[in-house]
Every structure is written in structure tokens, then in C-alpha cells.
Chains A and B, each alone.
Chain A
Amino acid sequence: ETGVTQSPTHLIKTRGQQVTLRCSSQSGHNTVSWYQQALGQGPQFIFQYYREEENGRGNFPPRFSGLQFPNYSSELNVNALLLGDSALYLCASSLAQTGENTGELFFGEGSRLTV
């Protein structure tokens, strides 16, 4: 148990729709990052939030967006869903002193999206 919870665990959407995935960080953690894991592949970094601001982004288009709330929980939003967005979406939390991700990441069990 990492203390990182994600919802929903599974969901099915239609191409062109929008989806919101949610993540509750481990208590005391102020940084959250999101990863996409396609079947048979390692997780790929989407973006990271520290103190409610995005402070790092991977090679994902703008239709992937996020939010971090004052309680450090987070959302991942994906607009205009494509078939290729089908994947396991993982949230990870960590404690950073100055926005620098120095420690280990604690992952949730993911949200599996099928488009």
C-alpha cells in the first residue's frame, strides 16, 4: 500500500469524448506526476505538478492537461480521445523541497482507460 489512490479503476470511453482521472496523493506529499502505460510498454511521463503548478512535461499534446489542488490531490484530463489513448494511467506522488523531485515516487494502481 502506497497511500496513493486513483479513480476510477476502469473506464470505457468513445473516440472524441473527454475523460477526467483523479488521484489522491500520499499524506504529506506535495508533488504529483502522471504517467501513461500502453500495453507491453514501460510507463511514459506525461507531466508533473508542484504546489498547483505544472513544472515538467513529457512529449504529450496539449489535449492532455492537469490540475493539482491545495490538498495536493490531482486530476488528469484528456480531450478529444483517440483510440491510441487506451492505456493504464498512473499517478505518482512524492515529497519535494523546492519543486525538485529528489526522492522515490509512490505510485497508485492506475486507471485503465479503454477508448
Chain B
Amino acid sequence: DAKTTQPTSMDCAEGRAANLPCNHSTISGNEYVYWYRQIHSQGPQYIIHGLKNNETNEMASLIITEDRKSSTLILPHATLRDTAVYYCIVRVYSGNTPLVFGKGTRLSVIA
């Protein structure tokens, strides 16, 4: 079972920041937080991952709380092409553990 809880759906106005929350209160010390997204009819796409420090790349920023029990994915300037299902996953960085997907958050970016 997925170890994360996410809202079922969210809306965001085009050009505004999209903030997607994720709860992972049972996260272990050696587990990272990963974010993937899945645009309709495509395979999941890696976005970003982090352990405890905030991370930023060309796609998004990841903010992890100090107690690591929750995180927020931030898309700074959402576009219509960001409409997708966003999955928050906790996973050990090493080992043979697979990605365990929940149902994710369906983000709709509105013009």
C-alpha cells in the first residue's frame, strides 16, 4: 500500500504557482520523497526527489517539512501542459524496492 496521502484533485489558474501537498507521516529515515506525474495516455514522468533538504530543478521545487512528515511540490508558473495526475511516493534510495503509487492528485490547470 502507498505510504502517502494526497488530495484527489486540485485546480490552478494558468500562470500561477501550483502547490501540491503530500502527507507521509510514517516515512522512515532512509526513505526519499519522489514525485512523478502522468499526463493522459502517457507513462509516468519523473519530476524530482529529495531526502530532507529542499530541492529545485528546471521543472519544480520540492519543499519537505523539518519533521519530514509532509512535503509540497511547487510548479512555479503552471501551464495547460502541466495538467496531469501527480504522484507522491516514498521510497528507499537503494535496494530493489519498486515505486508504490497511490491514486495521486489530479491537477487541472485552467486558462
Using a CB–CB cutoff of 8 Å, the interface residues on chain A facing chain B are 2, 4, 33, 35, 40-45, 48, 55-56, 58, 90, 92, 99-102, 104-110
| Contact B41–A105 (Cβ < 8 Å) | no
| Contact A45–B100 (Cβ < 8 Å) | yes
Any A CB within 8 A of the CB of B30: no
With A100-B94, A101-B97, A102-B94 in contact, do A109 and B46 touch (Cβ < 8 Å)? no
Any A CB within 8 A of the CB of B44: yes
| Contact A42–B104 (Cβ < 8 Å) | yes
Say whether chain B's binding surface is mostly helix, strand, loop, or mixed: loop
Instruction: Kindly state the interface size class of chain B when it binds its partner.
Output: 20 to 34
Distance to closest chain B CB from A56 (angstroms): 4
Interface code B41-52, partner A: CB below 8 Å = 1, 0 otherwise?
Answer: 111111001000
B residues near A102, Cβ cutoff 8 Å: 93-94
How far, in whole Å, are A48 and B97 apart by their CA atoms in the complex? Answer: 10
Among A40, A56, A90, A104, residue most surrounded by chain B Cβ atoms (within 10 Å): A104
Distance to closest chain B CB from A93 (angstroms): 11
| Contact A101–B43 (Cβ < 8 Å) | no
